[in-house]
Chain A
Amino acid sequence: MSGRRSRSRQSSAVSRITDDQINDLVSKLQQLLPEIRDRCSDKVSAARVLQETCNYIRSLHREVDDLSERLSELLATTDTAQAAIIRNLLMQ
């Protein structure tokens, strides 16, 4: 397994992403997660951030599915002009 030192000597085909850049990206992700952002102000492990990210994406998917379904039902049963317009927009 190549150590950290050898990373800079890898083939030029691989772009040189430093650990700092990775850490920076991980903390940017951390800022987007409501669970961690609100509770822990200290740095959280990358593994934890990835775990929470997966959970968060899954819950967002559920929310979108749930709202889509509710919206479909509402649009199907509502007879207003607004409903017709929104129906049209979403069916593009």
Chain B
Amino acid sequence: MVADASMASVVGYKRAWSRAMLWKIRNQSRRHGLLAKKSNSHANRLRKSKVVKPKIAKTENFDQASELRKLVPGGEAMEYSNLLEETAHYIKCLTTQVGIFDELVKGEIVDI
């Protein structure tokens, strides 16, 4: 999805969710043979910063949190408090993206 790729690349490596998204997109590209190079420093940097699964899971609000983890990229591996922070940032980016696309669509319709 082009929209996801552009949103994630703007945020870059600053956020766990964008790192997870970039990592996924890069893996998909590699599977389709678009990236021939084996060692890619870009990908290595992503791999190193990938979050490790937390050993102790907070059991409070477990069901809702597990649902949220599936919606936020990289959410499965995050600590609960990280998940909440990442979600807030992710939502801000999504709403910004919606605003931009909305403007683009309106612009296209009006300026014929």
On A, residues with C-beta under 8 Å from B are 1, 10, 13-15, 17, 21-22, 25-26, 28-29, 32, 46-47, 50-51, 53-54, 56-58, 60-61, 63-64, 67-68, 70-71, 74-75, 78, 80, 82-83, 86, 90-92
CA gap between A56 and B71 in the complex, in Å: 10
B33 proximal to A (CB < 8 A):
no
B23 proximal to A (CB < 8 A):
no
Determine whether the beta carbon of A56 is less than 8 Å from that of B91: yes
CA gap between A83 and B1 in the complex, in Å: 19
Enumerate 15 A-B pairs (CB-CB under 8 Å) in ascending A order.
A25-B81, A32-B92, A47-B64, A51-B67, A54-B67, A57-B87, A60-B94, A61-B71, A61-B94, A67-B104, A70-B105, A71-B101, A71-B105, A71-B108, A83-B108
Give the size of the chain B interface in residues (CB under 8 angstroms).
39
Interfacial chain A residues near B88, Cβ < 8 Å: 25, 28-29, 32
Determine whether the beta carbon of A82 is less than 8 Å from that of B2: no
Q: Is the interface of A mostly helix, strand, loop or mixed?
A: helix
CA gap between A1 and B79 in the complex, in Å: 18
Determine whether the beta carbon of A82 is less than 8 Å from that of B107: yes
CA gap between A78 and B1 in the complex, in Å: 21
B43 proximal to A (CB < 8 A):
no
CA gap between A67 and B107 in the complex, in Å: 13
On B, residues with C-beta under 8 Å from A are 1-3, 6, 54-56, 59-61, 64-65, 67-68, 71-72, 79-81, 84-85, 87-88, 90-92, 94-95, 97-98, 101-102, 104-105, 107-109, 111-112
Nearest A residue to B91 via CB reads A32
CA gap between A21 and B80 in the complex, in Å: 11
CA gap between A21 and B81 in the complex, in Å: 8
With known contacts A47-B64, A71-B108, A63–B91 Cβ distance under 8 A: no
Interfacial chain B residues near A29, Cβ < 8 Å: 84, 87-88, 91
Interfacial chain A residues near B97, Cβ < 8 Å: 64
